[in-house]
Structure 1
């Protein structure tokens, strides 16, 4: 995965400015920065949701902005995203939201039939078990707590089995123990396909425990790119306006 000279502007406001970033297979990279630094926009460029104003993007050997229709769906099936707002269908049962991770690999007919008679439930239950929600598979998703919904989004990613994992604040609604579990699962998932993990994280300690490398954004620019082992929590807290 490589970004070269990426700029994104919304109207006259720059969200990303001259971003160069390369992530190798097997890397676990944390992206840190204050609100408005450009973290979510960066993930949007990588999954094809945000077209860059300038620069070039290569994700799993392809340019997401140049793809349409089936080709874009295939790339997104290989790229798993945990969105900050989760993008779950609250009125559907948990099993259907988890199965949404496989829609890119299913025909339209199978996807429609699965809404009536859920398909692949063994895999769904196994994924829910890994996030501690096996007993909630047939509950309406909007009846779950915020932390439980976040774990449903993680289970959806587990059944998708992507090569590249993009996670936008994947542990923001979880307690410390579950947050560690979630980041561990995401790292295992990426490593299992020989892929990579890029996670926007609000907790510096979590970033240092689970990632090999930390990229810091400020005002849409990369101002830090260093191995996690060389950094401290105190050094990263400045990216969030925290002072000891």
Structure 2
């Protein structure tokens, strides 16, 4: 269980099930056993409008980003607010971008304000990753789910982006659940660490009770 205000890092070797867990929480993966409760609902039991309403309350940074390359950065960022906009406003925004001050503020926070009108496909991998984060920033969700949100960023920028995501989750008293490959980032930015190996939960402890050596031992077990 993840409580309101918690910052939970999900760690584990490649293939441990981190992305699958995030997928179950977003409703894009149906569990073969058991069920997940997200903001009081089971995503796998929802469809159509009910699932869209739940996803509007959850901000997700996907591992594969799910950006539309030919669109300009402003449109990909504004996609974080489509659930709150009527169809006419979403369509009009493609011609005349709406909410530009909020988009620029989000992009400024991830050092991309100068790329607001650039085609997204022209950006580097790390820049596209930051666009995906900016999309969640404008959404202002109740829960933030992030699957390797800083994998393409240098250490300094990775720390800043994780700090932004934790601040965003805290703004509405929500929680952050993020899959991370770097144990140091997990210990620095999260207050709880959950470890998976082969799809099984083998570690669940407060970050303050763990050391870098503890996580090194954990990865040794999972290797």
Q: Structure 1 length as normaliser, TM-score?
A: 0.88
Contact 1:34 1:241 in 2 (8 A): no
Counterpart pick for 1:118 among 91, 94, 97: 97
Choose from 208, 213, 218 the match for 1:234: 213
SS at match of 1:81: strand
The answer to whether residue 58 in structure 2 is matched with residue 79 in structure 1 is: yes
The number of residue pairs the alignment matches comes to: 222
Please give the secondary structure, in 2, of the residue aligned with 1:57. coil
For 1:165 and 1:192, locate their aligned partners in 2 and report how far apart those are by CA, in whole Å.
11
1:171 lines up with 2:139 in the alignment = no
1:27 aligns with 2:9: no
**Counterpart position of 2:79:** 100
Could you tell me which residue of structure 2 aligns to residue 203 of structure 1? 182
Give CA deviations for 1:66-86 in whole Å, capped at 9, x if unaligned.
111111111001011101111
Match of 1:53 among 11, 32, 38: 32
Deviations 1:105-164 (A, max 9, x none): 112222111111111111000100111111100001111111111111110000000111
- In 2, Cα distance between equivalents of 1:107 and 1:80: 19
TM-score scaled by length of structure 2: 0.96
Structure 1 residues 192-213: Cα deviation after superposition (integer angstroms, max 9, x where no partner): 1110000000110000000000
- Structure with more contact order per residue of length (Cα contacts < 8 Å, sep ≥ 6): 2
Q: Which runs of 5+ in 1 are unaligned?
A: 1-21
Which residue does the alignment assign to 1:38? 17
* Structure 2: segments with no counterpart, 5+ residues: none
Match of 2:169 in 1: 190
Secondary structure of the 1:119 match is coil
Secondary structure of 1:205's counterpart equals helix
Deviations 1:20-49 (A, max 9, x none): xx1000000000001110000000110110
**Quick one: distance in 2 between partners of 1:239 and 1:219?**
13
Distance 2:3 2:196 in 1: 19
Q: Secondary structure at the match of 2:15?
A: coil
Aligned CA-pair RMSD:
1.4
The verdict on how the C-alpha distance between 1:242 and 1:150 changes in structure 2, with shifts beyond 3 A counting, is farther
